Amino acid sequence: MPVAFTDIAEFLGPAGLLVPNLNVLEPDAQPYCVLAIQPCGELAFSQTFVGNANHSQAIKKFFCFLQDAAVANVDLALSPEYSCPWKSLEDALTADLFPGAGKLWALGCESITPDELSALRQRHPDVIWICETPAAAPGKFLDPVCYFLKTQTNTGQDKRVVVIQFKTVPMGGGETFERNHIISGQRRYFLRNRQVDHVRFYTIICSEALEFEIDHARAVELTMHPAIIFHPQMVDDVRHAGMRKYRADLFRNTCSEHTEVFSLNWARKIKTPGGAPGQPPDNRKGNSAIYIKSQRFDRSDNAIKNNHALGIYYSRWKEHQSDLCIFNFEEYVFNLVNQKVIHVGATVQARRTGPTVIELKKWNAVTESWDVVAQADDGFQSFCQLYETPHLAPCLAEHLTPVDRERLLMLSAGTLDPVPDWHSVVRMQSFICEADERCKRLTFVQEESQASRDFRNDHIVRFIGLQTRVLANEANFPPNILDLRGNFSIACPAAATQFRFNLLNRQNNQNGATVIFLGVKPRSEAKEFYQRLRRGWGERDGKMREELTRRIVVAYSDTDGTLRMEHPVLGSFTDDSEMPSSISSAE
């Protein structure tokens, strides 16, 4: 049976301790600050250990991470499963690096044996340790997440507390190592505040997601108690059907309006033992993300651009009317602010606009510190360079935003469904992730599933084809855009022209036109698309306004390589395209 969550108060009270009031769980208008590490490195596995192979380097990285968390006094610090060395934690305890009052660290730690944990607790008797006391089991280990928090005794004395939650559900399927060597925990805690038991904090450790069911009872619980769910992982495929089921169940439920999920995995390019020399790293890790549902989420171009630059990429989880913020897959420390999952007070202050990255840090091996970097690499420029053509330059200009680039590629390829509002990021197909959470962003290329790669390639190839097959030959300019022959520039769709044009007059940046290249298409399909586009842009109050559609050209290729076009006929703008208005040219 699934393991239930137990109120942390049941263990703090008997120890003479007050339940702390954590800032992240206060239902007020003040945002909270998060520091999350997505580590890379090399993994080591043995009968009694899972964690970092390069232990000395990992100790430095995580100690510096904890230093930064303490100095910044962040409200919430997070690390993924099996990542934080116990030596880093012990060094932090010795140096009195600890979250301040009202702050919380939730750290996925390297494995530990019962004997090692007992010795650690004895070395730090000044710390209050709350955890199960599992019996020693030779050849086996515990998989812990540690809550670091500060509270007071009933008499007002400050106390440092470490609550340890052990993984209760080992990885299944073909993954037998953990199943054979883990000591499963029996308790899971939820954190809440002393003054009001309203917002709660839960941790489900990696494969515990397999048994985290959003049944009626849990849905009622989450509706009554808005929640932050932390899901630390060390897994190749975070979108495995069993691992993501709880998120789909959660976000299709009404309780998700005031619930957020932080799914934090290791970075890609992590090395695993047992591979042959020179074997490429496992690139399937990554996919850390924040899941949120809010009517006031800020999806503006500027907000998406700023987060994109610092390594968080927006997608719309359309199936569940939710928002998905995906982390860059590389090793970084993300410093972000977010709004509380619920706000009790004036409605005008209840603005859950979503996470905002304020700082991105990368490990500097020379100075042995996490240094601030100006921008994350989304991989788009390198991806474009693989095509070895100058025809991608128009979508690589520095002044363009990621949304500009994607609109240009989508319009040029004719991916405009629905037509009237195609440019909105909640409707653009490149911004809409699939039901399995798979990202299709064109300007964030670290998602390597075949379907996403095919989607990106199709749009890039059509954009190149637009220039090499259509625009390169002046004979291909039909009468409705004849003025642009030899005098055009490629431009991103803009609000000033209702996001309709990808070509402008090169001399005055006016007289815009829409020229689309569909690639190889049956004539019937291309004609149907042209008519749908024409109706979508031209119909107003049940009437057709031809002046809104006079500058449309839809080009496509027959299977024999013949270039064909659909466009209005000058002098007969009511033409239904059944008349021989298309022009064609064979290569």
Q: How far is residue 485 CA from its own chain's centroid?
A: 43
**CA dist 107 to 62, 148, 159, 192, 303, Å?**
10, 8, 19, 18, 29
pLDDT of residue 350: 63
Is it the case that residue 581 has pLDDT exceeding 80?
no
pLDDT of residue 346: 66
* Residue environment code for 298-323, b if the CB has 16+ CB neighbours within 10 A, otherwise e: bbeeebbebbbbbbbbbbbbbebebb
One-letter amino acid identity for 346? A
Q: In what order do the strands lie in the sheet with 188-191?
A: 5-7, 188-191, 200-203, 227-232, 259-264, 289-292, 322-327, 312-317
Task: Write the DSSP assignment of 144-156 as a string of letters.
Answer: EEEEEEEEEBTTS
Question: pLDDT at position 423, please?
Answer: 96
Q: Which of 194-198, 489-493, 569-573 has the lowest mean pLDDT?
A: 569-573
Tell me which of 581 and 98 has the higher pLDDT: 98
Cα–Cα dist 32/337, whole Å: 6
Amino acid letter, residue 224: M
Tens of pLDDT, residue by residue over 514-547, are 999 999 999 999 999 999 999 999 988 888 888 8
pLDDT tops 90 at residue 173: no
- What is the rounded distance in angstroms from the CA atom of residue 118 to the CA atom of residue 381? 51
- pLDDT, average across residues 137-161: 96
| pLDDT tens profile 234-267 | 998 888 899 999 999 999 987 788 999 999 999 9
pLDDT value at position 580?
34
What 3-state DSSP class applies to 508? coil
**Mean pLDDT confidence for 65-84:** 98
Q: What is the mean pLDDT of residues 87-92?
A: 98
The tens digit of pLDDT for each residue in 341-379 reads 998 876 556 678 999 999 999 999 999 999 999 999 999
User: Is the pLDDT confidence value at 282 over 80?
Assistant: no
| Over residues 274-292, mean pLDDT | 68
What pLDDT score does 174 carry?
Answer: 58
Judge whether residue 329 has pLDDT over 70: yes
Per-residue model confidence (pLDDT) at position 275: 46
pLDDT at residue 72, rounded to an integer: 97
Domains and CATH numbers, the chain: 5-377 (3.60.110.10), 381-585 (no CATH)
Measured CA to CA, the distance from residue 317 to residue 181 in angstroms comes to 37
